[in-house]
Amino acid sequence: MKKFKTKKEVKQYRIFLSTMNSIAGQAIVETIRNDYINDENPHIIYGTLDPESNAEVPSGAKEVINVRALSYSLRLNRSL
């Protein structure tokens, strides 16, 4: 006997996007986000910010990674 799915299962993707506060980055985030379609299992969007751009973080982004802190800690660990 076949089991019928009552609801279409949508895959959740984890996406990394560099410089997501740039104009192109904001457009990409708006294109790939699906939290308005699938609020139970939306895509998780991580990314970095462009230091020269003073635009805000797009609303679909889950978390922002601070690259300056990472590069400083890497240089500190290498000198030890």
- Beta strand 14-17 pairing with 44-47: parallel
Q: Which pLDDT does position 69 carry in this prediction?
A: 65
Q: What pLDDT score does 70 carry?
A: 61
Please state, in angstroms and rounded to a whole number, the distance separating the CA atoms of residues 17 and 25. Answer: 7
Max alpha carbon distance in the chain (Å)? Answer: 65
Q: Say how far apart CA 33 and CA 53 lie, in whole Å.
A: 22
- State which residues form the domain around 45: 14-79
Q: CA–CA separation, 20 vs 50, rounded Å?
A: 7
For residue 64, the SS3 value is strand
Q: Tell me the C-alpha to C-alpha distance, in Å, between residue 13 and each of 16, 45, 61.
A: 10, 8, 13
27 part of a folded domain: yes
Indicate the number of domains in the chain: 1
Q: Is residue 3 part of a domain?
A: no
> What is the pLDDT at residue 42?
85
- pLDDT above 60: residue 71: no
- Residue 74: which pLDDT band, with cuts at 50, 70 and 90? low
**Residue range 36-55, pLDDT digits in tens:** 777 778 888 899 888 778 88
**7 lies in some domain:** no
